[in-house]
Chains A and B, each alone.
Chain A
């Protein structure tokens, strides 16, 4: 190394530690020649001290007050020399007024985590009991950022071609039936990549993997006596650090490399990685919560506060991150850029994203600067941005989220329409027609790719439970069954919970297949919840946020015990992937713009070309013309889908095909496995080409070729 820079050498010394003036940017702790550059923002503090620990030690080995001349604007920075990168843990003490009414909550007796730390120590192994007397619980550490990505880069799969699989890192392999080494870790997911590929999904969306504390609000379950923990992780301690407890190598502090290795492996197999990110609030809660980082560093910058200095609570969890403060905005942007560039993340799903569009006083903004910045950011330019377009403060923006031509949304209306239709509610056909077309009623200007279609997600019933329970059964959560949603639109098929009645069980499986079939033939972007493909049950619990057990873990034996569901899901997902006509990037136009003799989409009923949209109707069919696939750029087969949610069978007259084509049966959920669905390319030629009896509560899919 050429040592011709002045800043390679210290200028100051404090108790034997050598240091000098640092670089204000980037924020965080950065390895530089001979040392580490520390930089942190705080607008209202009066002074700041850097606190240095040897890894895991109770007492710091040094505390270095920032000399006044090291502060530029509101940023303190210094380079400390000859530190051991790997063994170092650091934090800050911030001094300043304690005046909650003015939004100031400084307390220099506390040691604070760096909001920009790339690794957090202290919760290194999942559920390893922490030392509660530790003076500094969540310790900032350095990360090596020199991973060998070989030829990898984000996949940039067109969003309309994705089949998203929403999954929990721990839950996917923690069950003993997974048969993997290091169950419940990032590393273990690599052992299951072949499964994901076979299933046909090409994007995993990981429930939060930013460092959180599973011990937060931990308590005993009143029904099982098990410890209840923060299992989902929607409570961020640090936005830049991956969850150490999800890593097999977390105890060695190597989670950064482990996560990157997983992403590289998924990418090699054509599977994108999306993160569920939680920028609406933090783990610090309201005024009664712990002071971990933001509250002690610059409370009124990082949080939305009432005029009296209390915390606005649009997240329902105590505090609300002040996302449209310019400093916080930059932190969010820095964070996402970091994950996109350093971790090759392909997209982000923003939890309670409506909050990201609120002003600092809580008003919804018509032109929210944060959302605009993310939409036009050069580094995030190819990342998928997906909003959960509502918040706990009552702001509901499904269909109206400020999208800037970029943002997609979790389509809650899709979920509700399909659920009601599946349980035979009247008056749902009109809505369903919108949903299977990619919701043009909501996204007329944005196209079907704005719609992330889902029927289930982590929050709520699993798909199987949708048809096994009328009511939630959350007693194990210890909140007297008061938690979780009540508007599930579920139907138990005649018996609450498990039953040995074969007719009910057949109907439940049929309903699961109906749901999967509808989801995968709808325009827009489908999302499947982990385990729904094998009939995973949460035993009626629709809010399993605290359950680190069988209620959440993927039971791999179900792949065999519910082989009919798995086979159906696999064939359906792959059906979508081999048929581009199911994945239009633009809305249908209802006319024949390629001269095929058929409009791009047409709707039918028991009579071809006649769709009954009346409120008493519980069935309809649609026909997609393959010549219009991808706006006529590619050729596909004709696809006809009949959905009959009426409790009796109905004869559907089939639309006539061009003379050279015949109708083939791909799926009929009324039939028992294995003749409920066919491998792609091996569909069964129909003897009767003009009429099909669609059974009660059944979906039939035909291919014209």
Chain B
């Protein structure tokens, strides 16, 4: 797993790749939590994520909770169909806005 953070049009973008499981989730969490401090608009780009385990899903929810306490929004980008299915079955999907591309993600947040 690899995780980076950047800023696109004043929106915090966290991009991960590979497999997010209990081994890699702590690093994902550390990077993401540091990047979202004080941010109201956050994009998590999962285009290159192959698998999200329970622990990975929990990091997403933790990011959501923290951003929500600031009345912010989290958008997931590029979530594969399989991961969306897992997230739907386990109830995590309902917390997020999902779009296909980063551009759409930026537009969605700018429009809201």
Contacts and interface: CB of A to CB of B under 8 A. Distances in A.
Contact of A84 (B23, B88, B89): B23
A650 B85 CA distance: 58
A86 B89 contact: no
Q: Number of contact residues on A: which range applies?
A: 20 to 34
B22 interface: yes
A264 B53 contact: no
B110 to A, nearest CB: 28
Given A84-B22, A84-B23, A148-B61, A261 B90 contact: yes
Contact of A254 (B22, B61, B89, B95): B89
The SS class assigned to the B binding surface is: helix
B91 interface: yes
B22 A261 contact: no
A258 B92 CA distance: 10
B58 A254 contact: no
B22 A249 contact: no
B11 interface: no
A367 to B, nearest CB: 43
B60 to A, nearest CB: 11
B86 A252 contact: yes
Contacts of B23: 84, 87
A181 B85 contact: yes
Contacts of A253: 54
A186 B90 CA distance: 10
Nearest to B86: A249
A85 interface: yes
Interface residues of B, number: 17
Given A86-B55, A146-B58, A252-B53, A258 B90 contact: yes
B96 to A, nearest CB: 12
Contacts, number: 55
Contacts of A230: none
B29 interface: no
B50 interface: no
Given A86-B22, A181-B85, A248-B85, A254 B55 contact: no
B53 to A, nearest CB: 5
B91 A257 contact: yes
Interface string B31-62: 00000000000000000000001110110010
A319 B61 CA distance: 44
Interface string A227-268: 000000000000000000001110011100110110010000
Given A85-B22, A86-B55, A254-B54, A182 B89 contact: yes
A591 interface: no
Contacts of A257: 54, 57, 90-92
A264 B91 contact: yes
Nearest to B52: A252
Interface string A161-183: 00000000000000000000110
A86 B90 contact: no
A326 B57 CA distance: 39
Contacts of B90: 249, 254, 257-258, 261
A124 to B, nearest CB: 14
Contact of A249 (B61, B89, B95): B89
Interface in A100-149: 144, 146-148
Interface of A: 84-87, 144, 146-148, 181-182, 185-187, 247-249, 252-254, 257-258, 260-261, 264
Listed from nearest, the 10 A-B pairs whose CB atoms lie closest are A261-B91, A86-B22, A257-B90, A187-B89, A248-B89, A249-B89, A254-B90, A258-B89, A84-B22, A85-B22
Given A252-B54, A260-B91, 8 more contacts: A84-B22, A86-B21, A144-B54, A148-B91, A148-B95, A247-B89, A254-B86, A261-B89
